[in-house]
Amino acid sequence: MLKRIITSIVAVCVLVPVLFLSHTWVFPIAIAIVSVVCLFEMFKCMGLDKKLSVTIPAYLIALLLPTLQRLEIAGTKVIAAATVLCVVYLVYLFALVVWSHGKFTYNQMAASALTSFYIMLAMNMILFIRDFNEDGQFLYLLIFIGAWMTDIFAYFTGVFFGKHKLIEDVSPKKTIEGSIGGIVFCALSFVALGVVADIFFDRNANLVFLAISGVFISMIAQVGDLIMSVIKRHYGIKDYGKIFPGHGGMLDRFDSILSVTLGVAAMCMVSYIFGISMM
């Protein structure tokens, strides 16, 4: 436990300056680096980390996407560029299956393509949300707050009050009580961010919408965590890596971040389409 706490403190000390500089190129560079590390851990999990013909193109795309996003190109062009890159990579992987003479199988191709797209697009979406509009400087924080508040309070609620298993065959330690605790505190933390934005930054946060979104995002965070647990169990590993002592690898810390990012992006689009103010 002490090792986990120390690691968490060090990680926060690194994360806070990066978030503070989210308006600079430090942020997309950090996202690109984290994306590459996550991809490496996933490829290693699947036993593909030494197949450079598979991994290097994915690393290059992961480095390129945040750069395209931060260059402030029109949103549709960024989406088009990302789509083209992913489709080209997919066709390339199909070609490898054809010409590898059984050394790179269809199942490996499908798994590497699916997980690569999930990681790359979700990580790049963090930057999209940050630059979405004038509210982006607050909205992207919901990603980290939602994922980690859910994780922290689901853990402690489960430890002290957990009696009923959530999905035992996927994650034996998770409980229904822990899940509910994570949802409640995630919603409260979203409201707290809105209150802070109102008081200190003269915003007009929609606290009701934030509370509802907190429930929705917490559920997505827990699903994202379970998705990565399923993958680990499938490949018979405990952790994706050892970067964070007591916590595992980058993917072990960003498992729910990936799914939450997509959830917050959907929340942003809903608010935009229906004209609902969030901040």
pLDDT reported for residue 72 = 66
Residue 167: per-residue pLDDT: 79
pLDDT one-digit tens code per residue, 150-181 = 988 998 898 888 788 887 777 778 889 999 99
Tell me the average pLDDT across 33-55: 95
State the pLDDT at residue 4: 67
The residue that leads in pLDDT, 240 or 81, is 240
Torsion 118-120-122-128 (CA) sign: negative
* Per-residue confidence (pLDDT) for residue 115, from 0 to 100: 94
pLDDT for 173: 80
Q: Region 123-149: what's the mean pLDDT?
A: 90
pTM of the entire predicted model:
0.90
Alpha helix (H) ranges present in the chain? 2-20, 26-45, 52-70, 75-99, 106-130, 136-161, 176-201, 207-235, 250-273
Task: Return the number of other C-beta atoms located less than 10 Å from residue 230's C-beta.
Answer: 14
